[in-house]
C-alpha cells in the first residue's frame, strides 16, 4: 500500500512536470494501484508524439479521422495556453498504424485540441452530451500510455512509458480547472487513502497519460466523458482532473461533424439534388 507521504511527493513532482516540461511529458501523477493493468481495451486510444518519439496519448473520435489531445501536449512550451506547434509535427499510432497530423483546431478555451490525421482509425468514440445526464457519482474507465510508479515510492520507474494501462475512478465534482486555461473539468480523487476505493483498479493518471480517454457507459456503448488533463490539487494532492467533454461537445462538433449530423445533412440534401437533376432533364 502506498504511503500518504509517497502520494503527496508524487503529486508535487507531477505538478512540477506540467510547469517545467514541454510536450515530451504530460503533467500528471499516478499512484499504486493507479498504475492500472496493461490492457488492449479502448483501441481508439493511441500513442501520440512527434519525430522524437511517442510521449503522450490521444483519443480517436467520431469518424476515425480526428483525434483529441491535451492542448499542453501540442504547445511550444508545454503549457496549456502556449503557442501551438503545427499539426504536421505530430504523429498518432493506433492499431499498429502510424498517422500524420494534417490540421489542428485548438480554440476551445480548455486543455483540449482536435487534430485531423491522414487516415481513418477503425474505432472512433462518440462524445458524452449534457443530455446523457450528470457525470457526478459515476464511475469511469480511463486509458493512457503514461509512466508507472511500479514500486509505489513516488518516483517513476524505468520502462513505464508506452505501456497502455486502464484504471477506474469516480467523478466527484464539476468545476473550473485549477490551471490557467484548463477549462471545465471533472474532478476525481485517489480514495484509497480515505478507505473508499473504486474497485481494485482505482487510480490517478500519470505523466504521458494526458490525452487519454475517460469513458462512462450508456447502455452497451462507452461514451467519451473526459480527457485526461492534470493532477495535483493545491488542497488535495491526490486529486485528478479530466477536461469535461460535455461542455465542449458542440464546439468540437462545429469543426468535426458527427456522423449522425452528416447523415441528417445527406438525407436533406440528396433529395434536393435528385429533384434538381430531374428538372434539368
User: Residue 72 falls within a domain, yes or no?
Assistant: yes
Instruction: Give tens-digit pLDDT for 267-281.
Output: 444 444 444 444 555
Q: How many CB atoms lie within 10 A of CB 41?
A: 12
User: Residue 151 falls within a domain, yes or no?
Assistant: yes
Please work out, in degrees rounded to the nearest 5, the angle formed at the alpha carbon of residue 198 by the alpha carbons of 192 and 202: 65
15: containing domain = 4-255
Please work out, in degrees rounded to the nearest 5, the angle formed at the alpha carbon of residue 261 by the alpha carbons of 61 and 185: 45
| Segments of 73-194 assigned E as strands | 90-94, 97-105, 113-117, 139-144, 165-170, 173-176, 184-189
User: Residue 273 falls within a domain, yes or no?
Assistant: no
Instruction: Give tens-digit pLDDT for 47-58.
Output: 999 999 999 999
Distance CA 223, CA 139 (A): 12
User: Residue 116 falls within a domain, yes or no?
Assistant: yes
User: Residue 210 falls within a domain, yes or no?
Assistant: yes
CATH of the domain at 23: 2.40.10.120
Instruction: Give tens-digit pLDDT for 66-91.
Output: 999 999 999 999 999 999 999 999 99
Q: Scanning the structure block, which residue is given the C-alpha cell 508506452?
A: 162
Q: How many domains does the chain have?
A: 1
Amino acid at each position: 500500500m502506498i504511503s500518504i507521504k509517497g502520494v503527496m511527493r508524487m503529486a508535487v513532482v507531477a505538478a512540477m512536470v506540467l510547469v517545467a516540461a514541454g510536450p515530451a511529458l504530460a503533467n500528471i501523477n499516478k499512484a499504486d494501484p493507479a498504475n492500472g493493468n496493461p490492457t488492449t481495451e479502448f483501441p481508439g486510444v493511441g500513442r501520440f508524439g512527434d519525430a522524437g518519439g511517442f510521449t503522450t496519448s490521444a483519443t480517436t473520435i467520431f469518424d476515425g479521422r480526428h483525434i483529441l489531445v491535451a492542448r499542453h501536449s501540442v504547445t511550444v512550451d508545454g503549457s496549456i495556453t502556449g503557442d501551438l506547434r503545427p499539426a504536421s509535427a505530430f504523429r498518432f499510432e493506433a492499431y499498429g498504424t502510424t498517422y500524420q497530423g494534417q490540421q489542428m483546431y485548438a480554440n476551445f478555451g480548455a486543455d483540449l485540441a482536435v487534430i485531423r490525421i491522414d487516415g481513418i482509425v477503425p474505432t472512433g468514440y462518440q462524445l458524452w452530451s449534457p443530455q446523457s445526464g450528470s457525470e457526478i457519482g459515476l464511475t469511469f474507465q480511463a486509458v493512457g500510455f503514461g509512466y508507472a510508479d511500479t514500486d509505489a515510492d513516488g518516483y517513476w520507474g524505468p520502462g513505464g512509458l508506452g505501456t497502455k494501462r486502464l484504471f477506474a475512478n469516480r467523478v466527484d465534482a464539476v468545476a473550473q480547472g485549477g490551471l490557467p486555461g484548463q477549462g471545465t473539468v471533472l474532478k476525481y480523487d485517489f480514495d484509497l487513502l480515505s478507505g473508499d476505493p473504486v474497485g481494485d483498479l482505482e487510480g490517478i493518471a500519470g505523466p504521458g497519460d494526458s490525452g487519454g480517454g475517460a469513458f462512462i457507459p450508456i447502455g452497451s456503448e462507452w461514451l467519451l466523458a473526459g480527457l485526461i488533463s492534470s493532477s495535483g490539487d493545491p488542497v488535495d494532492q491526490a486529486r485528478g482532473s479530466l477536461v469535461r467533454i460535455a461542455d465542449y461537445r458542440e464546439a468540437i462538433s462545429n469543426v468535426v461533424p458527427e456522423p449522425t449530423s452528416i447523415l441528417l445533412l445527406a438525407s436533406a440534401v440528396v433529395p434536393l439534388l435528385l429533384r434538381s437533376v430531374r428538372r434539368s432533364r
